[in-house]
Structure 1
Amino acid sequence: MTYDCDVLVIGGGIVGLSTAYALARTRPGTRVTVLEKEPGPARHQTGRNSGVIHSGIYYAPGSLKARFAVRGAAEMVKFCAEYDIPHAVTGKLIVATDREELPRLHALVQRGRENGIPVRELGPAQISEFEPQVSGIAGIHVGTTGVCDYAAVAEQLAQASGAEVRYGAEVTRIDRRPERGVAVRTADGTVLRARALVNCAGLHCDRVARLAGDDPGMRIVPFRGEYFDLARPDLVRGLVYPVPDPAFPFLGVHLTRGVDGGVHVGPNAVPAPAREGYDWSVLSPRDLAETLAWPGSRHIARRHWRYGAGELRRSLSKRAFTEAVRRLLPAVAEDDLRPAKSGVRAQAVLRDGTLVDDFLIREAPRTVHVLNAPSPAATASLPIGREIARRVLASLDSG
């Protein structure tokens, strides 16, 4: 059998490119080809997020998210410094605006300490010292949070990995034979053969898993996160977050001063009628039919319709969105919010309606599937890439 490469990686976002980078570092000489259907890297989740380097404070101790985010935050700062990529370690505030949020805020303090993250508890006066325009009854300051340009990180990973990255290469068929390797056909008819396959297809990872003949046991249900830019960026010095609801893997509408000096406001989280549906005008009958047919989607709708209705209201009403922001930043007015580009979160949902919270990586013969890697995947991408590389190399060695 003649192979075009040792490992084929499907997906040119930050996780796929980190995997290629890790393979080159772990085992030099490994031939890696990355297939990306878009004309360049980082066109979806990687290039459409708020650019935050997350500390790891939100994630359950011992989870992959906690382990990889804490480690990945330090590594991301080092990577950006090494390659002169715009970044800053700013710290952030998590602010409670209602007494009912205080138990959740205190739980975050404990979780942060269990994860080895420096956390400082604040009263209202101390909140004002960090952010004079922000209102809250209590808060915490997390010093290891930062911001960077993840699209630039992805481009640098592509270069530094030494991998062959093929853009405009949408995968349409996969033929896997454990004794012979994997053959992949792209939309233009090109066939590539490899000894092993890594599925980092993000919004389409469940479909790629099925193309490979595997049942992923989940479906991607897309949630659009809608952002605004703050017309008066001087109102915010750094990063300000609400206390999140632990029932959902979303962090709520927050304020993020980016590396360009602008302040991003958002996101909310509304079900999207297309996996690449970055506004309400984009509807994919196939995507929508798959979402509605998946039993987990119906379970989510029954359990969380009140939460969903609130998010939908903020999506359709700028006034309602402004009201949510004003809980943290009372000085903001509706005219201060200017529409910015949205993102779509590739949320894995199990058949029973469980929103998968941790990273989900599954293995099959000669294959590694990354089936849930939303935020903080960009922060954690370097250790995630090493973990995927370890698994795929073990598969090659055993086969």
Structure 2
Amino acid sequence: MHYRIREVGQVRTLAYDCDVLVIGGGIVGLSTAYAITRAAPGTRVTVLEKEPGPARHQTGRNSGVIHSGIYYRPGSLKARYAVRGAAEMVKFCAEYGIAHAVTGKLIVATEREELPRLHALVQRGRENGIPVRELGATQIAEYEPEVRGLAAIHVGTTGVCDFVGVARQLAEASGAEIRYGAEVERVDRRAELGVAVRTTRGDVVRGRVLVNCAGLYCDEVARMTGDEPEVRIVPFRGEYYSLARPELVRGLVYPVPDPAFPFLGVHLTRGIDGGVHIGPNAVPALAREGYGWGVVRPREVGATVAWPGVWRMARRHWRYGAGELRRSVSRAAFTVAVRRLLPAVTSDDLVPAAAGVRAQAVLRDGGLVDDFLIREGARAVHVLNAPSPAATASLPIGREVARRALAVLEGV
């Protein structure tokens, strides 16, 4: 790959296509572009997205929930950005006429051993500044007549929205150049010349600073750039069903999550379209975009199993994983999990729906990265862990990535 150098009198200057080159047209990449152009008007931003439109993967394949931030460790990026981002997301949707609703949600304990964890969530919510109402078993019916449990909490700031619509609006409002169908094939970084990216179509795009928001491929892009991310993305597929009788659920209903995992468990979500989604579970995918068991990419599977952290994670959590796999292959098992919250549901009520894939960063020691992870390299900023609640928190995440990118730009 060669840089284009232009002679100006006796001075040789590099012809850049943009100041900041963003890889990834999901909600985080587009929010970053939006934040850069607002913080530093006149900054030229180009976004490369391999799909023909925005938000085709994690952003467009989640449950559409605006998370309150109740689950996340006080002081963590997830906690701070989710609480702030939820309020900002509602305001953004209202400003641009994007479909949304603040519905509130229930987190329901169905077993006695879950009660201490439920109480811990109450304390965590209060530490994060989130209004929480504690409910006894009979009070659950005030919000969800068909839901059963020993106790619950109601979180009023949770909602739902059209995150794909948000991503489209961010792309339009950013003023950035968005290039769709631009899959990155190679990155060439030179300290004195900037960063050049070649796409599979043969186009070369040159920027002063690279921002890596590649989601499911963010670790690979980091390594293309020459930076070792020290994590690997392990894809977990989340499988959903639609509820054939949506009248059984009024709003959002969640189980008490296991704090050992970043997954929230099978939950019930009434979306902005009025339908109710049930899920997701969390099973290892056989491709980074493995939205079904039939999608297998041997090279990606090989890269995943070659990472030592995958085997350490598997040894540590195999029992949990076995339960998730069982629910993946058995609708009856999935139904049992749902009936803990919603006894009236039957397997005939579950209609298969589109799946999503979570880009989960795993450490070498097998630990699951439980916070957003943003790292910097020479002329580069890498977003290396931004699964849920990244869509909720995308506006403050975008500002933070933009701040770092502009600081790098100022220093080059």
Partner of 2:40: 27
Query: Match of 2:374?
Result: 361
Tell me the residue number matched to 1:303.
Answer: 316
Q: Which residue of 2 aligns with 1:258?
A: 271
Is 1:38 the counterpart of 2:51? The answer is yes
Amino acid at match of 1:64: L
Q: C-alpha distance in 2, partners of 1:119/1:182?
A: 47
Q: Which moved more, 1:172-181 or 1:376-385?
A: 172-181
Q: How does 1:68-79 map to 2 (within 5 A)?
A: 68-79=81-92
1:5-41 alpha-carbon deviations (Å, 9 max, x no partner): 0000000000000000001111111100000011111
**Which structure has the larger Rg?**
2
Structure 2 residue corresponding to 1:9, chosen from 17, 22, 25:
22
Deviations for 1:249-282, whole angstroms, at most 9, x for unmatched residues?
A: 0000000000000000000000001100000110
TM-score by length of 1: 1.00
In structure 2, what residue type is equivalent to 1:171? V
Shift of 1:177: 1.4
Return the offset for 1:393. Answer: 0.3
2:148 to 113, 135, 142: 135
Q: Match for residue 193 of structure 1?
A: 206
| 2:7 aligned partner | none
List per-residue Cα deviations over 1:326-378 (Å, max 9, x = no partner).
00000000000000000000000000000001000000011000000000000
Q: 1:150 aligns with which of 155, 160, 163?
A: 163
Measured on the aligned residues, the alpha-carbon RMSD in Å equals 0.5
Q: Report the secondary structure of 2:146's partner residue.
A: coil
Q: Give the distance between the partners of 1:94 and 1:388, measured in 2 at CA.
A: 32
Residue 300 of structure 1 deviates from its aligned partner by 1.1
CA distance, structure 2, for counterparts of residue 351 and residue 343 of structure 1: 25
Q: Supply the AA of the counterpart residue of 2:401.
A: I
2:253 is the alignment partner of 1:231: no
Is 1:50 matched with 2:71?
Answer: no
**Number of the residue aligned with 1:332:** 345
Distance 2:118 2:193 in 1: 53
Aligned-partner residue type, residue 328 of structure 1? L
Q: Where does residue 214 of structure 1 map in the other structure?
A: 227
Within 5 Å, give how 1:113-128 maps onto structure 2. 113-128=126-141
2:390 corresponds in structure 1 to: 377
The structural deviation recorded for 1:179 is 2.0
C-alpha distance in structure 1 between counterparts of 2:237 and 2:376, whole Å:
28
From 91, 109, 112, the equivalent of 1:99 is: 112
Please give the alpha-carbon distance, in whole angstroms, between the structure 1 residues aligned to 2:249 and 2:393.
26
Task: Select 1:110's aligned residue among 123, 130, 143.
Answer: 123
Distance 1:2 1:288 in 2: 39
4+ residue segments displaced more than 2 Å = none
Asked if residue 343 in structure 1 is aligned to residue 374 in structure 2, the reply is no
Deviations 1:73-112 (A, max 9, x none): 0000000001100000000000000010011001100000
Instruction: Say which SS state the counterpart of residue 145 (structure 2) adopts.
Output: coil
Secondary structure of 2:390's match? coil
CA distance in 2, matches of 1:70, 1:178: 38
Residue 293 (str. 1) matches residue 306 (str. 2): yes
Question: What's the counterpart of residue 280 of structure 1?
Answer: 293
Q: Which runs of 5+ in 2 are unaligned?
A: 1-13
**1:162 corresponding residue in structure 2:** 175
Aligned length: 399
Letter in 1 for 2:377: A
